Structures are given as C-alpha cells and as structure tokens.
C-alpha cells in the first residue's frame, strides 16, 4: 500500500471523551500512528487534559470547553451550549495554529468542539463509531465527515452517501497479543475462572445476582471455581459479604490493572455490552454472558451483544431477566460441557478484528494521501 514519505508526515489531531470506550481506541490508534512516523496531538476538555496515561499522556494535550446536553435541566443545557460554542472557537484556533492533516473523532461530548471546528474550517474529519448504533452526535457530524470508520459490521443510523469503512474497534496492544495464545481449556480436575466486569458504572446488579447464582451451585463445583469481580468503589465489602458462604476463591476490587493477564486465564466473563468490552473479549477469545445496560442510548448495548451472540460466542440476557437461576443454569451447563467453552472461544476470535488499529491507520493514511 502507498504510504506518505516519512519526512512529510503531518500532524493528526485526535479528539475523545473521557470514558474507556472512547479513550482505549484513541490510545491504540495513537500507538499505531506514532510507529508510522506521524505527529500527534489530543484535544479534550479540562477533565482529560494531562490526565491520560500511556501514549495519550505523552503527546501534546489541548483543553477546550464542552458540555453535556442529554438528560439535564434547561438551564444546564443553555450553559452547556454556551460552553460548547466557546469550545468550538477554542478548537478552531488550535486547528488554525497547528494545521493538522485531519481530525479523528472518537465520540463523547468533549470531542464535539474539535470535530465541529474541523468541519467549519475545512479540515478533513474522520469519525470512528465504536457502537453498532451510531450515537446522535456522530449521526450529525458524520453527514459532513470525510470518512466514517465502523467498529461493527452493521451500524444502525450510519448515513448513506458518506464513505464508510469497517475497521473494527482498536484495542490495547496487550489485548491484541492474546489473540496469538490458545484458549486455556477447562480440564477435568482444573478450576474454572470467572470474571465479572461492571463497566464504568460498576453494575450493582452483578454484585447481587452473581454471588447468589454461584451459591446455588453444587459445593463441589464451587470449590473448582475462581471469581474475579469488579464492583463500584466503596461497595467492595458488601460484595465480599455476599460471597461469605460460597466455597469458591473470590477476589473483589473496584479496578483491575492486569486485564490482559485475567483475560488470558478466564473461561467465562460476565459483563455489560459496551463496545470496548465486546470487542476486547472477542479479540481475546473469551466466552461471555452479556447483560446490556438497559439505559444505554438507543439500546446500543443490545445491538453490540447481538454480534457475539449471532457468532455463537456468548449469551445475552436482558437485565430484567438476569436472575440467579438463569445465570446458575448457564454456568453449570458450560462447566459440565467444557467443549462448549472452547467452541465459544473459537467463535469469538473469528468475530473479533484484531488488526483494527492498523486498519484505521490505513484508512487515515489514504485520506491524507487523497487530499
């Protein structure tokens, strides 16, 4: 593929909100673009500036004003609109001064000012949509964007007439490396590792349902289980208490910083269906029980989960149907039929796009060359 000469490689300006679903793909892309010799910078808001770790924390960070509009009072929305308007002007000045070849937007309201400034100033805008249902902000921006990069094979509300490319969701390099490893099967006398992740909001329901489901299993099965459970900060003791009469090994934390290591040993993950989680567990080849967040905008997590369910890589349960009895049955069934776990792992890997960062970088390079 034709590439830009190293000495002529320009600035690519990234912009993203502060949640992991926006930050992780921006981080993965930054690592890939730096390998190719591009200069990089990040526009975010005051909460994110200089607070990122990894590659995003090493490049130039610029902060602009921005504000959320969804689910707030009228007065709050007016203030947010004013802040966002000022943020667009601030971002426009940064673009005028730095002259990037393109702006790559990863979503989140903190990214809107820079994306809007790109459109108004004639700078090429590339939108990366993480979910299988395009966000309302991206629906608006993407009508005028140069390119839409999609994480899922089917993306609802993607506008017609705008060039789109399937890149997948760029995931952290440590997770991509897991695609090279074999799934750790469950032996006849080995222990089954279960991981429970509540996403950015902690998923209190997992702290209630999962311990109860495990406690209802035969004690012999419990003794052959290890559970790693993430919960909301401040709720660790309550979740540990829920496991007090359970015979399995349990580790409860509000945050795990060794996710790649945990993924590599996990036989079944119970989690929300955010785009980042779904794409990471697909690449890592981890069988899953997905419980979509019922309040997610446009119910996009249900659509995200459908990709893995249709691939035969996981189960999806609506939160209202997520009972201890339902979960107990799933855990018991896969524990007693370990070949099903192997098949689910294989199907997950087939569904995952492990070279998403490279594909997105390729698409960006083509846009830069086309200009």
| CA count, 13 A, side-chain hemisphere, 207 | 23
Q: Does domain 176-351 have CATH number 3.40.50.2000?
A: yes
Q: Which CATH number fits domain 6-171+354-370: 3.60.70.12, 3.90.1300.10, 3.40.50.2000, 1.10.1060.10?
A: 3.40.50.2000
Q: What's the whole-number mean pLDDT along residues 2-13?
A: 69
Q: Which residue has the higher pLDDT, 48 or 247?
A: 247
Residue 71: predicted pLDDT:
66
Residue 86: closest CA among 105, 114, 60: 114
Q: What's the whole-number mean pLDDT along residues 183-200?
A: 87
Q: What's the whole-number mean pLDDT along residues 15-20?
A: 78
CB neighbour burial string for 170-208, b if at least 16 within 10 angstroms, e if fewer: bbbeebbebeeeebbebeeeeebbbbbbbbeebbeebbe
Query: In this model, does residue 193 exceed pLDDT 70?
Result: yes
Which of 28-42, 161-175, 319-333 has the least mean pLDDT?
A: 161-175
Average pLDDT, the chain: 91
CA distance 93 to 112: 15
Query: In this model, does residue 192 exceed pLDDT 60?
Result: yes
Q: What angle do CA 94, 100, 102 make, to 5 degrees?
A: 115
Domain coordinates in residue numbering, the chain: 6-171+354-370, 176-351
Which of 59-73, 282-296, 338-352 has the least mean pLDDT?
A: 59-73
Residue 189: predicted pLDDT:
82
Query: In this model, does residue 180 exceed pLDDT 70?
Result: yes
Residue 1: predicted pLDDT:
46
Query: In this model, does residue 199 exceed pLDDT 70?
Result: no
The bridge status of strand 102-105 relative to strand 11-15 is parallel
Using a pLDDT cut of 70, give the percent of the chain over it.
Answer: 94
The bridge status of strand 192-197 relative to strand 102-105 is unpaired
Q: What's the whole-number mean pLDDT along residues 268-277?
A: 95
Label each residue of 241-297 as H, E or C. HHCCCCCCEEEEECCCCCHHHHHHHCCEEEECCCHHHHHHHHHHCCCEEECCCCCCH
pLDDT per residue over 93-108, tens digit each?
Answer: 999 999 999 999 998 8
| Max avg pLDDT among 71-75, 160-164, 264-268 | 264-268
Two tokens, residue 277: 């989680």
Residue 126: predicted pLDDT:
97
Residue 17: predicted pLDDT:
81
Query: In this model, does residue 2 exceed pLDDT 50?
Result: no
Residue 50: predicted pLDDT:
66
Residue 74: predicted pLDDT:
86
Residue 347: predicted pLDDT:
97
Residue 4: predicted pLDDT:
44
Q: Which residue has the higher pLDDT, 297 or 165?
A: 165
Residue 35: predicted pLDDT:
95
Query: In this model, does residue 309 exceed pLDDT 50?
Result: yes
Residue 208: predicted pLDDT:
93
Q: What's the whole-number mean pLDDT along residues 13-38?
A: 89
**What is the value of pTM for the model shown?**
0.89
On the question of a common fold for 6-171+354-370 and 176-351, the answer reads: yes
Query: In this model, does residue 130 exceed pLDDT 70?
Result: yes
């Amino acid at each position: 593929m034709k590439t830009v000469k190293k000495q002529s490689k320009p600035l690519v300006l990234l912009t993203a909100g502060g949640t992991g679903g926006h930050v992780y793909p921006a981080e993965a892309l930054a690592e890939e673009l730096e390998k190719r010799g591009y200069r990089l910078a990040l526009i975010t808001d005051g909460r994110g500036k200089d607070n990122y770790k990894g590659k995003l924390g090493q490049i130039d960070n610029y902060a602009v004003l921005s504000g959320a509009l969804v689910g707030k009072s009228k007065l709050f929305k007016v203030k947010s609109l004013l802040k966002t308007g000022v943020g667009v002007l601030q971002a426009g000045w940064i673009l005028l001064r730095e002259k990037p070849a393109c702006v790559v937007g990863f979503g989140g309201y903190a990214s809107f000012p820079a994306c809007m400034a790109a459109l108004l100033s004639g700078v090429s805008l590339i939108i990366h949509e993480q979910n299988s249902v395009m966000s309302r902000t991206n629906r608006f921006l993407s009508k005028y964007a140069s390119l839409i990069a999609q994480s899922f094979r089917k993306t609802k509300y993607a506008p017609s007439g705008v060039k789109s490319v399937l890149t997948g969701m760029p995931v952290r390099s440590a997770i991509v490396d897991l695609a090279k490893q074999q799934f750790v099967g469950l032996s006849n006398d080995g222990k089954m590792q279960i991981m429970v992740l509540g996403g950015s909001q902690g998923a209190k329901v997992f702290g209630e349902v999962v311990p109860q489901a495990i406690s209802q299993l035969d004690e012999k099965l419990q003794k052959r289980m290890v559970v790693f459970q993430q919960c909301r900060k401040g709720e660790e003791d309550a979740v540990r208490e829920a496991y007090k009469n359970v015979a399995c090994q349990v580790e409860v934390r509000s945050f795990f910083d060794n996710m790649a290591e945990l993924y590599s040993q996990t036989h079944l993950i119970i989690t929300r269906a955010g785009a980042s989680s779904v794409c990471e567990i697909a690449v890592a080849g981890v069988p899953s029980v997905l419980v979509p967040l019922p309040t997610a905008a446009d119910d996009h997590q249900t659509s995200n989960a459908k990709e893995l369910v249709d691939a035969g890589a996981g189960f999806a349960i609506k939160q209202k149907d997520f009972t201890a009895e339902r979960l107990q049955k799933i855990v018991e069934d896969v524990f007693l039929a370990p070949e099903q776990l192997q098949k689910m792992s294989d199907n997950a890997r087939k569904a995952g796009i492990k070279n998403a960062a490279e594909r997105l970088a390729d698409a960006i390079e083509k846009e830069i060359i086309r200009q």
